[in-house]
Amino acid sequence: MSTYTTGELAKRTGISVRTLQYYDQKDLLKPTATSEGGRRIYTADDAATLKLILLLKSMGLKLAAIREILTSDNAQPVLELLLAEQAQRLEHDRDQAVAQLKTVTAVRKSLTGAADLPLKSIQDMDRLMANQRALRQVHLRLVGGGLVMDALEIAGLVYSWLTGNWWVFGGAMLVAVLVAIGLTRHYFLQVAYTCPHCHTTFQPRFWQAFWAGHSPRTRKLTCPHCGQTDFCVETIAKDALNP
């Protein structure tokens, strides 16, 4: 029969010698024999038991539960019961992890493109997330208005093409232009910008903001407080957040 020293069995199963010694101290896996020099001697049966211990441990069972299985005369029903309990715990942990992931994702979205503002309390976090929710609503209204404009233009074009009455298309284009003007004005009334240098939040003049270079979340503006011209971060206007 094959026998193994502590080091040999540890190497064979991919665990540390200290772990194997710990299992001995906890009466989880005792060596079959001890040499005259005091070395632990494990057999092939011990190695098989160790593999079972490692399998059960990989499923999240505690060492005390594993010991109960190994020493029980009714190991199978005991194992079934313990695994059922473990499954419930894992499902609970999974649900918690999913909820945490949703929170992390929401906060990450709120932080995307945010200015370097202090976060010192839960109120600061609430304000940040409320700010981002309000911005999303503004952007959704812009997208919705843009779809209405497109629908008017396409409908007017198709109707005029079929009937030859191009006054309808001209009228649709005029309405679309008026909708675009209204949406643009609404947008600049709803948003403000935070200077990346002094963190001052301000609302620029309409034409200053309209002609400024911009990215999806920033606009190149001159801060009225520090006078620096840079890409300022879009945020919701105070009046829009607290009407």
Where residue 112 falls among pLDDT bands split at 50, 70, 90? low
Closest CA to 79 of 67, 90, 88: 67
Residue 223: what are its φ and ψ, rounded to 5°?
-70, 130
Question: pLDDT of 24-39, one tens digit each?
Answer: 998 889 989 888 888 8
130 with 45, same domain: the answer is: no
Note whether 126 and 60 are same-domain residues.
no
CB 194 within 8 A of CB 239: no
Average pLDDT over residues 164-185: 86
Structure confidence at residue 80 (pLDDT): 84
Q: What is the pLDDT of residue 108?
A: 65
Parent domain of 216: 122-241
Which whole number is the average pLDDT over 173-202? 85
Q: Which of 121-130, 183-192, 200-209 has the lowest mean pLDDT?
A: 121-130
Residue 83 has pLDDT above 90, yes or no: no
pLDDT at 23 over 60: yes
How many Cβ atoms sit within 10 Å of the Cβ of residue 63? 15
Residue-level pLDDT at 119: 47
Q: Which residue has the tokens 């990989």?
A: 58
Same domain, 159 and 224: yes
Residues 129 and 210 in one domain: yes
The two beta strands, 201-202 and 191-194, are antiparallel
pLDDT, residue 14, reads 92
**Is residue 26 assigned to a domain?**
yes
| 64 lies in the same domain as 150 | no
Single out the residue in 71, 97, 131 at which a domain terminates. Answer: 71
Identify whether 96 is part of a domain: no
Which residue's entry shows tokens 């009225």?
A: 224
CA-nearest of 181, 183, 176 to 157 is 176
Q: What are the tens digits of pLDDT across the range 46-64?
A: 998 999 899 888 888 888 8
Mean pLDDT of the chain: 82
Q: Say if CB 138 and CB 191 are below 8 A apart.
A: yes
Tell me the mean pLDDT in the region 58-85: 84
Residues 131 and 75: their CA atoms lie apart, in Å, by 57
- Does 81 fall in a domain? no
* Per-residue pLDDT, 122: 44
Total structural domains within the chain: 2
**Does some domain include residue 97?**
no
Looking at residue 88, its pLDDT comes to 87
Concatenating the DSSP letter of every residue in the chain gives --EE-HHHHHHHHT--HHHHHHHHHTTSS--SEE-TTS-EEEEHHHHHHHHHHHHHHHTT--HHHHHHHHH-SSHHHHHHHHHHHHHHHHHHHHHHHHHHHHHHHHHHHHHTT--S----SHHHHHHHHHHHHHHHHHHHHHHHHHHHHHHHHHHHHHHHHHH--HHHHHHHHHHHHHHHHHHHHHHHHHEEEE-TTT--EE---HHHHHHS-B-SSEEEEE-TTT--EEEEEEEE-HHHH--
pLDDT of residue 126: 57
